[in-house]
Chains A and B, each alone.
Chain A
Amino acid sequence: MTSAVTIPRHGGTGGPTAVAARARQVVKAYGSGETRVVALDHVDVDIARGQFTAIMGPSGSGKSTLMHCLAGLDTVTSGQIHLDETEITGLKDKKLTKLRRDRIGFIFQAFNLLPTLNALENITLPMDIAGRKPDRAWLDRVVETVGLAGRLKHRPTQLSGGQQQRVAVARALAARPEIIFGDEPTGNLDSRAGAEVLGFLRRSVTELGQTIVMVTHDPVAASYADRVLYLADGRIVDEMHQPTAEQVLDRMKDFDARGRTS
């Protein structure tokens, strides 16, 4: 399969459009001339609203770059990216920052929390920065969901790795962003803690209608998603709906083999 538009087959519910974010002909290149390296090569992608999308691919495939560009953390060399109806390519830092603050949630692989703030303060940080009051009922529900009720006054150093990631998930959910981006959110966790965090993400999509995009190289993590996009050499090479861990693993092996023979 060549890089192409991936039409969402499952329409979102209740949103103005079924597409939460879309990329058109996105190119991200570093350097120039001989040393030019293309990380993203004319990528077209649509992220469906209310869905859990996983982006997979081998190291250097451009999956993280794609996520960073979609999330407004990185700039593109050419092409366009829209978040809902807003074109974010070409936005100035000020607008981009505001966009991230108000409309996007993040979960990173590690170092998600500010060590000086306690769990609750970390969760409400994006809203605090924006000067918004958190929705109390929603906040309670999110905290309840991720099971942190008893640990809200703890500092990050007093929490386990799994708990820290759950705080990060809660932070991402609490502000009710249009879209949450996860960069290997379970990469640093053991399988039990990882499963817990992925479970929360899955439930937030199913039960709360949240849109999530997650970069991962773990087939088990990808199996929690509704749809998996495969990236190789900066292009989308395949996608899979309602995947299982085995299917994903098989597909990955397939790529590996192809990679080796070509």
Chain B
Amino acid sequence: MTVLKTSMRNFFAHKGRMALSAIAVLLSVAFVCGTLVFTDTMNTTFDKLFQATASDVTVTAKDASDTGETTSRTGKPPVMPASVLGDVRGVQGVTKAEGTVFSTSVTVVDHDLDKLSPKSGAPTIVGSWNGNDARTMKITSGAAPEGPDQVMVDADTADKHHLKLGDEIGIISVVGTHHARVSGIATFTVTNPGAAIFYLDTKTAQQTLVGRTGVYTNVNLTAAKGVTDAQLKKNVTAELGHTYKVQTAKEVADANQKDVKSFLDVLKYAMLGFAGIAFLVGIFLIVNTFSMLVAQRTREIGLMRAIGSSRKQVNRSVLVEALLLGVIGSVLGVGAGVGIAVGLMKLMGTMGMHLSTDDLTVAWTTPALGLLLGVVVTVLAAYLPARRAGKVSPMAALREAGAPADARAGVVRAVTGLVLTGAGGWSLHLAAIADQAKVGSAWLGLGVVLTLIGFVAIGPLLAGGLVRVLGAVMLRIFGPVGRMAERNALRNPRRTGATGAALMIGLALVACLSVVGSSMVASATDELDKSVGADFIIESSGGAKPLTPAAVKAVQDTPGLINVSRVKEVPAEVTLPNGSAQKQKLLAAEAAYPQDVRRTTLSGRLSAVYGRDAMSVGSDFADKNGVKVGDTLKVAFDGARTARLRVAAVTSDDTTVDKGRMYTAITTVGRYMPADRMPLDLAVLAGHSGDEHQVYAALKKAVAADPSVTVMDRSDYKKNLRDQVGQLLNMVYGLLALAIVVAVLGVVNTLALSVVERTREIGLMRALGLSRRQMRRMIRLESVVIALFGALLGLGLGMGWGATAQKLLALEGMKVLEIPWPTIITVFVASAFVGLLAALIPAFRAGRMNVLNAIATE
């Protein structure tokens, strides 16, 4: 009981010194809980939406091969004849059946040709207004669409794009562009996370989306009283057979939810990973705090031991303090986590994704996990300092108090660290020279972990050397103040090492990813220059959707283009000579394609591939299956007759562009596949004759009517690539910022506690005539040195990891190593500023210290 009391008193007496540790715990726990609450809330929102919107039983048309892809290759949704509606009306248990038409393969624009799609990546849906949707939507102004020139818009989209009744919009689909005026605005009665929805009347929807009437994509069924959904499904299946997909409301919701959930899970685990890194960094902060508290309390602990406290009691008293810290930090963290989740939801709101706080979901596991993590991590981190406290001898009470003696980096620790670093370095070397990606990545992972632990272990040792180097380079100019700052950074290498290591972790990841990212861009650019002959690439924004025939025609009609080739992706089953079959996606193109994308052939000629019933295969496939030029392969295109294609060329797979692709001619596919099943063009590639700028401008003008189409010249394409990688990196940097913030708190913490610890020294120096300014500068320089030390370690380690990863990824075609020096140098310089920032408050406090009190402090 006394142990608890002493711990409590100590804890509250030193709460100021614990504050930053508590914040570190708080931040990490908050991030974990925020992530969980946010993803749970998203799940709830979608779940509610899907539950609410599905009818009792839905009959859905399916493709000959049900690929389950959301955007259809042909640009038209799979449909069923209207007669199905009549068939199911007669089924027992059906009180109501309604046929609907929906498609997501559309682009909707306003009269300025600006896209009306959500920026959040949510789908744009055009469909027929029907009774089922009327259950979850209320027409808040105007009326339901009637006739070909009316369209109804959901309220969120209308709001976002300032659409009013009577405004004209254009619906661009594979069929063509349909113009209509807004006749009504409907508001969701459940939370709609952000899809843009446009309703036409059934006939117009059929015409606009499919190009003919008398077809439906879905039939919504309502069950009679007393008939379960499952029973109804059974009855309907008995009537229709398995030509169509028949699902109960729950099955529809579950199927939809599955997609959302898998996406949210990826998001969740990625964010938890970053929270984990923050926790790891926080551990250093907590270890440092308790080490310093124990060191400062050495005399007190000695006294406790002298009057009869056992080692265990002393040990436990420190752990109890850690427990208190963990509990307080975690409880606040859980609260802050909910706040973060709400903040994220608001942020999503600004990006056009509406989430209601009514759906805020805090599962009991969330606070439980947050508390458990926070407390366990804190107590574990305090374990070593607590053990050290237990080892304080009773004699310590009698020794003169003063600044704690220099803690030397232990020999055992140094040796262990060196061995681990060496082993890690060797693993990285093995990863770099590995000739199999799988083996190499295992070595890379091992190497990263080992070098990280190794660096943490030899941190104190490195601190000695690196701080001296940094001192020699930059502190000398600050004279005695610089020298004292250097000595202060050096006086406890273990502390400096741990503080620097915390920063190291975050920066190592930043450096590694920036090296990989810029190598990726450099390699891809390099490859692009080497193998892409086309001057222009025309595809839909983001490349996800196929191009509409209208857009393709507009491109083809543009003057000044040469080597124009359309490209389609055609799924097929390829039967090998030995009789086994495998799924492949063939790239069907036109004869000019080899000029647009240059490939090395190992045998045969690419031009022959675009002849009648010919194809090419990649070298890996050819080697593995013993296929050579002249062989004939059976190729079953999806929903088409089986073709027998002659292998006319084997392409080298030593590339990243179209690696492993099988090529064939569009005309060849067309001979086997009915026109209405033919996939739309994914892209059009072309070269130019005449003035490139003029042709570029003409192309842009030609496709201006459809804002979903992008025209890219080579520099656009490279920029696009850089932007995409840059965006991804920025997101990761953003998430790593948490770990870096915690590390910076660690620097603040170390300095603040050092200032307290060195009160007498500070008093002495002030008495001897060190001005406030000099004092503050001394603290700031110490901080900068620690930060730069961490940055040097982190950037060095990270670049090593990045370079190794590049060597490994060279197997996958990432052949160019590019160290992004501007980024690396920026991070290094920024670290110095971070050091300055971290020292702000500790330096201010040191400067403000009353000289007399400082001298009198024991």
- Name A's B-contacting residues (CB within 8 A): 68, 73-74, 93-94, 97-98, 100-102, 104, 106, 108, 110-112, 114-117, 121, 125-126, 128-131, 157, 171
**CB < 8 Å neighbour of A106 from B479, B491, B767, B852:** B767
Shortest CB-to-CB span from A155 to chain B, Å, is 9
B774:A111 contact, CB within 8 angstroms: no
If A125-B768, A129-B774 are given as contacts, then 11 extra A-B residue pairs at C-beta distance below 8 Å, sorted by A number, are A68-B852, A93-B772, A100-B769, A101-B769, A112-B764, A126-B768, A126-B769, A128-B479, A129-B765, A129-B768, A171-B768
A100:B767 contact, CB within 8 angstroms: yes
**B window 762-818: CB within 8 A of A:** 764-772, 774
Interface-central residue, B406, B487, B765, B767, by most chain A CB under 10 Å: B767
Residues in B whose Cβ lies below 8 Å from that of A101: 768-771
Which chain A residue shows the least CB distance to B486?
Answer: A116
A111:B402 contact, CB within 8 angstroms: yes
Q: Given A97-B766, A115-B761, are A73 and B851 also a contact pair (CB < 8 Å)?
A: yes
A106:B488 contact, CB within 8 angstroms: no
Total A-B Cβ pairs within 8 A: 74
B405:A157 contact, CB within 8 angstroms: yes
**B window 465-487: CB within 8 A of A:** 479-481, 483-484, 487
Residue B760 at the A interface, CB < 8 A?
A: yes
Shortest CB-to-CB span from A127 to chain B, Å, is 9
Task: Give A102 to B768 CA distance when docked, in angstroms.
Answer: 9
Residue B855 at the A interface, CB < 8 A?
A: yes
Interface-central residue, A74, A128, A129, by most chain B CB under 10 Å: A129
B491:A116 contact, CB within 8 angstroms: yes
Shortest CB-to-CB span from B37 to chain A, Å, is 48
Contact with A along B488-504 (1 / 0, CB 8 A): 10110000000000000
Residues in A whose Cβ lies below 8 Å from that of B767: 73, 100, 106, 108
Residues in B whose Cβ lies below 8 Å from that of A125: 480, 765, 768
Residues in B whose Cβ lies below 8 Å from that of A102: 769
6 contacts between A and B (CB under 8 A): A68-B852, A93-B772, A97-B772, A116-B491, A121-B483, A129-B480
Top 7 A-B pairs, shortest CB-CB distance:
A101-B769, A116-B487, A128-B480, A100-B769, A97-B771, A126-B768, A111-B760
Which chain B residue shows the least CB distance to A113?
Answer: B764
Residue B403 at the A interface, CB < 8 A?
A: yes
Residues in B whose Cβ lies below 8 Å from that of A100: 767-769
A111:B764 contact, CB within 8 angstroms: yes
A115:B402 contact, CB within 8 angstroms: yes
Shortest CB-to-CB span from B295 to chain A, Å, is 13
Residues in A whose Cβ lies below 8 Å from that of B769: 97-98, 100-102, 104, 126, 129-130
Contact with A along B612-650 (1 / 0, CB 8 A): 000000000000000000000000000000000000000
Task: Give A125 to B403 CA distance when docked, in angstroms.
Answer: 19
Which chain B residue shows the least CB distance to A188?
Answer: B400
B771:A94 contact, CB within 8 angstroms: yes
Residues in B whose Cβ lies below 8 Å from that of A68: 852
B765:A114 contact, CB within 8 angstroms: yes
**CB < 8 Å neighbour of B403 from A94, A115, A117, A131:** A115
B766:A108 contact, CB within 8 angstroms: no
**CB < 8 Å neighbour of B772 from A94, A108, A112:** A94
Residues in B whose Cβ lies below 8 Å from that of A130: 769
Task: Give A97 to B490 CA distance when docked, in angstroms.
Answer: 27
Residues in A whose Cβ lies below 8 Å from that of B488: 116
Residues in B whose Cβ lies below 8 Å from that of A121: 483
Q: Given A97-B769, A126-B769, are A114 and B852 also a contact pair (CB < 8 Å)?
A: no
Which chain A residue shows the least CB distance to B405?
Answer: A157
Residues in B whose Cβ lies below 8 Å from that of A126: 768-769
A117:B487 contact, CB within 8 angstroms: yes
Shortest CB-to-CB span from A135 to chain B, Å, is 17
A108:B764 contact, CB within 8 angstroms: yes
Residues in A whose Cβ lies below 8 Å from that of B772: 93-94, 97
Task: Give A115 to B769 CA distance when docked, in angstroms.
Answer: 17
Task: Give A52 to B838 CA distance when docked, in angstroms.
Answer: 47
Residues in B whose Cβ lies below 8 Å from that of A74: 852
**CB < 8 Å neighbour of B852 from A73, A97, A117, A171:** A73
Residues in A whose Cβ lies below 8 Å from that of B483: 121, 128
Shortest CB-to-CB span from B373 to chain A, Å, is 39
Task: Give A68 to B854 CA distance when docked, in angstroms.
Answer: 13
B484:A116 contact, CB within 8 angstroms: yes
Task: Give A199 to B484 CA distance when docked, in angstroms.
Answer: 32
Residues in A whose Cβ lies below 8 Å from that of B405: 157
Residues in A whose Cβ lies below 8 Å from that of B768: 100-101, 106, 125-126, 129, 171
Residues in A whose Cβ lies below 8 Å from that of B764: 108, 111-112, 114
Which chain B residue shows the least CB distance to A75?
Answer: B852
**B window 399-441: CB within 8 A of A:** 400, 402-403, 405-406
A108:B480 contact, CB within 8 angstroms: no
Task: Give A101 to B769 CA distance when docked, in angstroms.
Answer: 4
Which chain B residue shows the least CB distance to A111?
Answer: B760
Task: Give A115 to B760 CA distance when docked, in angstroms.
Answer: 11
Residues in A whose Cβ lies below 8 Å from that of B402: 111, 115
Shortest CB-to-CB span from A107 to chain B, Å, is 11
Which chain B residue shows the least CB distance to A100?
Answer: B769
Task: Give A174 to B402 CA distance when docked, in angstroms.
Answer: 25
Shortest CB-to-CB span from B401 to chain A, Å, is 9
Task: Give A219 to B325 CA distance when docked, in angstroms.
Answer: 52
Which chain B residue shows the least CB distance to A117?
Answer: B487
B491:A115 contact, CB within 8 angstroms: yes
Task: Give A100 to B768 CA distance when docked, in angstroms.
Answer: 6
Shortest CB-to-CB span from B334 to chain A, Å, is 43
Shortest CB-to-CB span from B521 to chain A, Å, is 47
**B window 372-396: CB within 8 A of A:** none
Q: Given A68-B852, A100-B769, A115-B761, are A131 and B484 also a contact pair (CB < 8 Å)?
A: no
Residues in A whose Cβ lies below 8 Å from that of B479: 128, 131
Residues in B whose Cβ lies below 8 Å from that of A97: 766, 769-772
Residues in B whose Cβ lies below 8 Å from that of A117: 484, 487
Interface-central residue, B400, B403, B480, B491, by most chain A CB under 10 Å: B480
Residues in A whose Cβ lies below 8 Å from that of B760: 111
Task: Give A116 to B767 CA distance when docked, in angstroms.
Answer: 17
Residues in A whose Cβ lies below 8 Å from that of B765: 114, 125, 129
Task: Give A110 to B487 CA distance when docked, in angstroms.
Answer: 21
Q: Given A73-B852, A125-B480, are A114 and B761 also a contact pair (CB < 8 Å)?
A: yes
Task: Give A129 to B484 CA distance when docked, in angstroms.
Answer: 10
**B window 743-768: CB within 8 A of A:** 760-761, 764-768
Residues in A whose Cβ lies below 8 Å from that of B490: 116
Which chain A residue shows the least CB distance to B766?
Answer: A97
Residues in A whose Cβ lies below 8 Å from that of B851: 73
Shortest CB-to-CB span from A23 to chain B, Å, is 17
Task: Give A73 to B768 CA distance when docked, in angstroms.
Answer: 10
Shortest CB-to-CB span from A76 to chain B, Å, is 13
Task: Give A101 to B488 CA distance when docked, in angstroms.
Answer: 21
Shortest CB-to-CB span from B476 to chain A, Å, is 13
Residues in A whose Cβ lies below 8 Å from that of B406: 115, 157
Shortest CB-to-CB span from B846 to chain A, Å, is 14
A129:B770 contact, CB within 8 angstroms: yes
Task: Give A212 to B493 CA distance when docked, in angstroms.
Answer: 40
Residues in B whose Cβ lies below 8 Å from that of A128: 479-480, 483
Residues in B whose Cβ lies below 8 Å from that of A157: 405-406
Q: Given A111-B764, A114-B484, A116-B484, are A98 and B771 also a contact pair (CB < 8 Å)?
A: yes
Residues in B whose Cβ lies below 8 Å from that of A116: 484, 487-488, 490-491
Shortest CB-to-CB span from A174 to chain B, Å, is 12
Task: Give A126 to B484 CA distance when docked, in angstroms.
Answer: 13
Task: Give A93 to B852 CA distance when docked, in angstroms.
Answer: 13
Which chain B residue shows the least CB distance to A102?
Answer: B769
Which chain B residue shows the least CB distance to A124?
Answer: B480
Residues in B whose Cβ lies below 8 Å from that of A114: 484, 761, 764-765
Interface-central residue, A97, A102, A171, by most chain B CB under 10 Å: A97
Task: Give A102 to B405 CA distance when docked, in angstroms.
Answer: 31
Task: Give A68 to B766 CA distance when docked, in angstroms.
Answer: 13
Residues in B whose Cβ lies below 8 Å from that of A94: 771-772
